């Protein structure tokens, strides 16, 4: 009896080993359309914003390193999505339509790539409050979203309302934006799901709905994110611009943690993530925003190497590509590290110039943060600002190692 049991156990072990070996062998070679580290088992998103006004040759985009592209921006005019400024009724959208055609061509490199239209942004969020105001206006906006996607053969809509319940760039805003934003998302989700069903689209190919959110408590207080997230595929947090061009005080653009240096505002990526989670959003739905640009101040006091000092100018925007070429050690710029904040900055004592940005080291810290906290992935603004794809390659490799 013991020998029989032993033989049965031995046979079972052999079958188990052979099954495991066969399963491993079956996944050695990626299936068609899969990239190393970018197959269906990898849930990290890499969302790149691409603009229609910087002259980027879209054929050079490394589509295999992206999961989503958000084309920026379409406008909300008279309650509907369209290209062009509100005041220009004769706007020719030919170049925008051509951009979307060229972005769709990137699917030949990455068949799983999703192309979304991003609606709004800082300058074109003026009419969202009106569009969200009534059941009728929400129906109109949702119907236009479906029509726009179908016309341009896109995969989803990204709503970048800056910001519900706040004036932003001179926007119309109301206290009821808080509830109406949720109702608008519910309606758009409803329309997209109906269209997905009609077109036979199922997960992960159904039409997508995402939003971009601000990184501060005011945004949380003026929205119902815990409820709204139920109707969203994921949320891109704009975890950057903690110090902006509107301030003459220098500071970190996108520090991971709060600084302990004098003069800090205590804004940080980690704090932004925490308040989103506290608002009721699952961590896996949060996509962490990183900047492919920096901020520059001039006429800065040399105290503390220019950090948290008053300047003679606001913090203008500067692409990462320009930082790499024009703000080098040979030109008098010295890199400094704020260890507590996991942030770097440059200071030139001779020209009294201060530059804040993400380099490869601070970006690597953020990628580890995404993985450790089981977030949904990384979003960045904006593709054309990169230098020889250094930042994008760092993101791709860091999330897939």
> What local confidence, expressed as pLDDT, does residue 393 receive?
98
Q: Which residues are catalytic?
A: 162
d(CA 162, CA 391): 26
Q: Which domains does the chain have, with CATH numbers?
A: 36-291+358-400 (3.20.20.80)
Residue 213's DSSP bridge partners are: 237
Q: Contact at 8 Å (CB) between 172 and 129?
A: yes
Whether this model's pTM surpasses 0.75: yes
Question: For residue 373, what are the CA distances in angstroms to 108, 287, 289?
Answer: 33, 11, 15
Q: Is 262 helix (H, G, I), strand (E, B) or coil?
A: coil
pLDDT tens-place string over residues 219-253: 999 999 999 999 999 999 999 999 987 889 999 99
CB 237 within 8 A of CB 272: yes
Report the distance separating Cα 117 and Cα 148, nearest Å: 9
> What is the C-alpha separation between 401 and 397, in angstroms, rounded?
6
For residue 35, pLDDT over 90 is answered with no
Residue 18 has pLDDT above 50, yes or no: no
**What is the pLDDT, as a whole number, of residue 266?**
85
372 vs 314, higher pLDDT: 372
Q: What is the pLDDT of residue 42?
A: 55
pLDDT digits (tens, 9 = 90+) for 248-303: 999 999 999 999 988 777 899 999 999 999 999 999 999 999 999 999 999 999 99
């Amino acid at each position: 009896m013991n020998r029989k049991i032993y033989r049965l156990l031995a046979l079972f072990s052999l079958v188990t080993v052979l099954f495991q070996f066969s399963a491993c062998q079956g996944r050695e070679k990626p299936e068609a359309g899969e990239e190393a580290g970018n197959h269906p088992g990898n849930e990290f998103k890499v969302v790149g914003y691409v603009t229609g006004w910087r002259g980027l040759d879209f054929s050079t985009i490394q589509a295999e390193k992206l999961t989503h592209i958000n084309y920026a921006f379409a406008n909300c005019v008279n309650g509907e999505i369209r290209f062009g400024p509100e005041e220009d009724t004769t706007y020719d959208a030919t170049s925008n339509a051509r951009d979307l055609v060229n972005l769709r061509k990137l699917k030949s490199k990455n068949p799983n790539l999703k192309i979304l239209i991003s609606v709004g942004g800082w300058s074109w969020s003026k009419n969202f409050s009106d569009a969200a105001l009534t059941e009728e206006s929400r129906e109109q906006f949702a119907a236009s979203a479906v029509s726009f996607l179908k016309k341009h053969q896109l995969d989803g809509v990204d709503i970048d309302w800056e910001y519900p319940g706040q004036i932003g760039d001179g926007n119309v805003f109301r206290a009821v934006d808080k509830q109406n934003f949720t109702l608008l998302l519910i309606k758009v989700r409803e329309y997209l799901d109906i269209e997905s069903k009609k077109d036979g689209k199922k997960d992960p190919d159904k039409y997508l709905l995402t939003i971009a959110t601000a990184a501060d408590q005011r945004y949380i207080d003026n929205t119902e994110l815990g409820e709204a997230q139920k109707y969203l595929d994921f949320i891109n947090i704009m975890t950057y611009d903690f110090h902006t061009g509107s301030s003459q005080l220098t500071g970190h653009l996108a520090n991971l943690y709060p600084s302990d240096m004098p003069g800090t505002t205590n804004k940080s990526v980690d704090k932004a993530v925490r308040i989103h989670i506290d608002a009721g959003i699952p961590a896996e739905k949060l996509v962490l925003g990183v900047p492919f640009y920096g901020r520059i101040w001039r006429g800065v006091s040399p105290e503390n190497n220019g950090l948290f000092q008053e300047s003679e100018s606001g913090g203008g925007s500067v692409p990462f590509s320009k930082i790499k070429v024009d703000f080098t050690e040979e030109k008098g710029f010295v890199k400094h590290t704020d260890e507590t904040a996991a942030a770097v900055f440059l200071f030139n004592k001779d020209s009294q110039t201060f530059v804040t940005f993400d380099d490869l080291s601070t970006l690597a810290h953020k990628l580890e943060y995404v993985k450790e906290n089981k977030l949904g992935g990384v979003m960045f603004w904006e593709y054309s600002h990169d230098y020889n794809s250094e930042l994008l390659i760092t993101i791709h490799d860091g999330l897939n190692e």
